[in-house]
C-alpha cells in the first residue's frame, strides 16, 4: 500500500525525459504489413507512384519498414511542447467507484484545442508539406477532430487547407466547422457538388449522409487537380502510426519511471492510429520476445472491421481512386447506419494493426453504443473528464476488464488510451440522455453485400 501511495494521480515527464524520436514498429515485425498497391495494375506503389498524392518525406516514412527510429524535427518538438507531454492518469476515483483491485491508468490526449490525439500527426504532416514548399493541403474529416487538428497545424505553419467533412457530422457538429474556419480552413460537406466524384456519389445515393470513404475521394481529387496541393490522411496509414508512437513512448517512459508494468493495454480503433501509437513500444517488446502484454482493440458493433470484417485488399475510399491497402475491412461501400453517433465510422483498419491482428499479437472486441455511453457517463462522473464517444469504447472495455478483476480478485494493471474530449459530441450525449439512443448492428447479409464488392486481387 505504501508503495502504491507513491504513484501520483498524474504522471508527467520532465522536458528532458520527453521522446525525441518516433518509433517504427514495422522494424520489429517479421511479417511486414502488405504494401499499398495500384488499383489498376495491382503492382506495389513505389515512391514515384505516390508523389502526385502525398508529400515526399511522408512517402519515405510510409514505405520504410526497416528504420526503427526517426528523429522528430525540432520545429515539431517545439509544437509538441505547447501541449505535451499529455498526462498519464491513475484512475483512482474510477477504481474506487468500481470496487476493483485492478489498477487503471489512462493516457489523456484531449488537452489541446482540437481535443484529440490527431494533432500529433497533423503537425508532422503539415511540417513536411511546408518543407517541400507546397501551397496547401486537402483532407477529409469525419467527426471533425482531424480537420480541427490539421487546421491548427496549417495555421501554425502558414499553409492553406481545404477540408471535406462527412455530411452527417457537418450538420451535427456546426461548432467544429467554426473552429476549423477560425484557424483559416475552408470546410465543405461531403459528398459535395464541387468534385466529379462527389457529384457521382450524390447521383447514385441521393440523400446520403456521407462517409469517410466519400470524403477521402473528394479530397484526393482536389489535391491531384490543383498545383501545389497534396492530400493528407489522419489515420490508417503507416506514417500516421509512426507519428502517433509519441503517445506510447511517453506512456512507457512514465510507467518506467515508477516501475509499472501493464498487463493489459486497451485502445479504441477507428483507423487504428491512436491504438497503433499507444501500443507501439510495448508491441515492439512483444515482437522482440522481451515482454508480453495483452493488447485489445475496441471497435463499435455498428462498424466492426476487426471482429466481423475480412483481411483483404480493399479501396481506402468509396470513390475507388486511392491505392488498395490490405487490411481488415467491411468493404469500401460499407456505410454505418446514420443512427451511429459514436465516431469510428471507417470501413477499414491500419495495415500494420491488421497484420499484427492476423498474426495473433492483439485481440479485438466490439461494443454497442448505448453501453459505450453508459461507460462514458460513469467515467465523466468519477474522473471528471467528459470523454469523446470514440475514447469511450476504450473506457467500456477497461471497465469490463476491471470488473472481471473484481470477480477474480486479480490486481491487474490496465492502461487505456483516452483519446479526446466530448465537448463537440453533445448531440450524441443529448440522444443518450433523452433515452433516444439505440444500437445498430449490421446483419451478416449487410456485411456480405459490401464485402462481395471487394476488388479481386
Ligand atoms: C479520430 C479519433 C479516434 C479514432 O481514430 P484512430 O485512428 O483509430 O485513432 C479515436 N478517438 C478520437 C478522440 C478521435 O478523434
Strand order in the sheet with 186-190: 186-190, 160-166, 136-141, 229-231
pLDDT tens for each residue of 191-204? 999 999 999 999 99
- Contact 309/447 with Cβ under 8 angstroms? yes
d(CA 70, CA 95): 37
Question: What percentage of the chain carries pLDDT values higher than 90?
Answer: 87
Calculate the CA dihedral of residues 125, 128, 129, 131 and round it to 10 degrees: 160
Looking at the fold, whether 295 and 409 belong to one and the same domain comes out as: yes
Strands, E, within 127-209: which ranges?
Answer: 136-141, 160-166, 186-190
Looking at the fold, whether 152 and 292 belong to one and the same domain comes out as: no
Domain of residue 209 covers 22-71+118-231
Residue 366 lies in a domain: yes
Q: What is the pLDDT of residue 92?
A: 97
Does the beta carbon of 348 sit less than 6 angstroms from any atom of ligand 1?
no
The CATH number for 199's domain is: 3.40.50.1100
Question: Which ranges constitute the DSSP H helices of 270-388?
Answer: 273-287, 305-308, 351-358, 369-383
Question: What percentage of the chain carries pLDDT values higher than 70?
Answer: 99
CA of 410 to the centre of ligand 1 (A): 30
Does the beta carbon of 121 sit less than 6 angstroms from any atom of ligand 1?
no
What's the mean pLDDT in 209-230?
91
What's the mean pLDDT in 118-125?
98
| Number of folded domains that form the chain | 2
Q: 20-52 as b/e, with b when 16 or more CB fall inside 10 Å?
A: eebbbbbebbeeebbbbbebeeeeebeeebbee
Which residues make Cβ contacts (< 8 Å) with residue 74, sequence separation at least 6?
A: none
Does the beta carbon of 210 sit less than 6 angstroms from any atom of ligand 1?
no
Q: What is the pLDDT of residue 391?
A: 97
Looking at the fold, whether 289 and 370 belong to one and the same domain comes out as: yes
Q: What is the pLDDT of residue 1?
A: 43
Out of 107, 116, 241, mutate this one to test ligand 1's pocket (max ligand atoms within 8 Å of CB): namely 116
**200, 231, 262: which is the final residue of a domain?**
231
The mean of the pLDDT values for the chain is: 94
Return the SS3 of 78: helix
Residue 310 lies in a domain: yes
d(CA 414, CA 399): 10
Looking at the fold, whether 357 and 250 belong to one and the same domain comes out as: yes
Return the SS3 of 179: helix
Q: Partners of 116 in the beta sheet?
A: 420
**Would you place residue 109 in the very low, low, confident or very high pLDDT band (cuts 50, 70, 90)?**
very high
Looking at the fold, whether 211 and 318 belong to one and the same domain comes out as: no
Does the beta carbon of 232 sit less than 6 angstroms from any atom of ligand 1?
no
CA of 139 to the centre of ligand 1 (A): 15
**Would you place residue 213 in the very low, low, confident or very high pLDDT band (cuts 50, 70, 90)?**
confident
Is the per-residue pLDDT at 342 higher than 80? no
What's the mean pLDDT in 22-51?
96
Residue 76 lies in a domain: no
**213, 231, 249: which is the final residue of a domain?**
231
pLDDT tens for each residue of 389-438? 999 999 999 999 999 999 999 999 999 999 999 998 898 999 999 999 99
Q: What is the pLDDT of residue 211?
A: 82
pLDDT tens for each residue of 282-340? 999 999 999 999 999 999 999 999 999 999 999 987 777 788 999 999 998 888 777 77
Atom 5 in ligand 1: residue holding the nearest Cα: 270
Q: What is the pLDDT of residue 95?
A: 98
Does the beta carbon of 274 sit less than 6 angstroms from any atom of ligand 1?
yes
What's the mean pLDDT in 106-130?
97
Does the beta carbon of 305 sit less than 6 angstroms from any atom of ligand 1?
no
CA of 418 to the centre of ligand 1 (A): 10
**Would you place residue 43 in the very low, low, confident or very high pLDDT band (cuts 50, 70, 90)?**
very high
Is the per-residue pLDDT at 3 higher than 60? no
Q: What is the pLDDT of residue 2?
A: 46
Looking at the fold, whether 298 and 155 belong to one and the same domain comes out as: no
Q: What is the pLDDT of residue 4?
A: 54
Looking at the fold, whether 15 and 26 belong to one and the same domain comes out as: no
**From the centroid of its chain, how far is CA 55?**
20
- DSSP assignment of 292-306: --EEEEEEETTS-HH
CA of 292 to the centre of ligand 1 (A): 25
**176, 201, 231: which is the final residue of a domain?**
231
Closest ligand 1 atom number to CA of residue 270:
8
User: What count of residues does the chain have?
Assistant: 457
Closest ligand 1 atom number to CA of residue 109:
13
Is the per-residue pLDDT at 278 higher than 80? yes
Residue 162 lies in a domain: yes
Residue 387 lies in a domain: yes
Q: What is the pLDDT of residue 214?
A: 87
- Contact 23/66 with Cβ under 8 angstroms? no
CA of 397 to the centre of ligand 1 (A): 16
Amino acid at each position: 500500500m505504501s508503495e502504491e501511495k507513491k504513484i501520483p494521480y498524474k504522471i508527467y515527464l520532465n522536458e528532458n525525459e520527453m521522446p525525441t524520436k518516433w518509433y517504427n514498429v514495422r522494424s520489429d515485425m517479421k511479417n511486414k504489413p502488405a504494401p499499398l498497391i495500384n488499383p489498376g495494375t495491382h503492382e506495389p506503389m513505389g515512391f514515384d507512384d505516390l508523389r502526385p498524392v502525398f508529400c515526399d518525406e511522408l512517402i519515405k516514412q510510409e514505405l520504410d519498414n526497416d528504420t526503427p527510429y526517426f528523429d522528430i524535427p525540432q520545429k515539431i518538438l517545439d509544437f509538441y511542447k505547447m501541449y505535451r507531454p499529455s498526462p498519464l492518469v491513475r484512475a483512482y476515483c474510477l477504481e474506487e467507484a468500481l470496487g476493483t483491485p485492478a489498477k487503471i491508468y489512462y493516457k489523456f490526449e484531449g488537452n489541446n484545442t482540437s481535443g484529440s490525439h490527431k494533432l500529433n500527426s497533423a503537425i508532422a504532416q503539415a511540417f513536411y508539406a511546408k518543407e517541400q514548399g507546397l501551397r496547401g493541403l486537402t483532407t477529409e474529416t469525419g467527426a471533425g477532430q482531424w480537420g480541427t487538428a490539421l487546421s491548427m497545424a496549417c495555421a501554425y505553419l502558414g499553409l492553406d487547407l481545404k477540408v471535406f467533412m462527412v455530411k452527417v457530422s457537418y450538420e451535427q457538429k456546426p461548432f467544429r466547422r467554426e473552429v476549423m474556419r477560425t484557424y483559416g480552413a475552408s470546410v465543405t460537406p461531403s459528398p459535395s457538388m464541387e468534385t466529379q466524384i462527389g457529384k457521382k456519389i450524390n447521383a447514385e445515393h441521393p440523400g446520403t449522409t456521407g462517409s469517410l470513404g466519400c470524403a477521402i475521394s473528394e479530397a484526393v481529387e482536389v489535391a491531384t487537380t490543383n498545383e501545389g496541393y497534396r492530400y493528407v490522411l489522419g489515420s490508417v496509414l503507416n506514417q500516421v502510426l509512426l507519428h502517433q508512437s509519441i503517445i506510447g513512448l511517453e506512456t512507457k517512459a512514465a510507467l518506467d519511471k515508477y516501475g509499472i508494468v501493464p498487463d493489459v493495454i486497451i485502445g479504441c480503433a477507428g483507423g487504428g492510429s491512436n491504438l497503433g501509437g499507444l501500443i507501439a513500444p510495448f508491441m515492439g517488446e512483444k515482437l522482440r520476445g522481451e515482454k508480453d502484454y495483452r493488447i485489445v482493440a475496441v471497435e463499435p458493433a455498428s462498424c466492426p472491421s476487426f471482429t466481423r470484417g475480412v483481411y483483404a485488399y480493399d479501396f481506402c475510399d468509396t470513390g475507388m481512386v486511392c491505392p488498395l491497402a490490405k487490411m481488415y475491412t467491411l468493404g469500401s461501400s460499407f456505410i454505418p447506419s446514420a443512427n451511429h453517433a459514436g465516431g469510428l465510422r471507417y470501413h477499414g483498419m491500419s495495415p500494420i494493426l491488421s497484420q499484427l491482428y492476423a498474426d495473433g499479437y492483439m485481440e479485438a472486441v466490439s461494443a454497442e453504443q448505448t453501453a459505450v455511453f453508459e461507460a462514458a457517463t460513469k467515467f465523466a462522473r468519477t474522473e471528471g473528464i467528459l470523454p469523446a464517444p470514440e475514447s469511450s469504447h476504450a473506457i467500456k472495455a477497461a471497465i469490463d476488464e476491471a470488473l472481471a478483476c473484481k470477480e477474480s480478485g486479480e490486481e491487474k494493471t490496465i492502461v487505456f488510451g483516452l483519446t479526446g474530449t466530448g465537448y463537440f459530441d453533445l448531440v450524441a450525449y443529448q440522444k443518450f440522455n433523452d433515452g433516444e439512443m439505440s444500437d445498430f448492428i449490421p446483419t451478416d447479409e449487410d456485411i456480405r453485400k459490401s464485402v462481395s464488392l471487394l476488388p479481386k486481387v
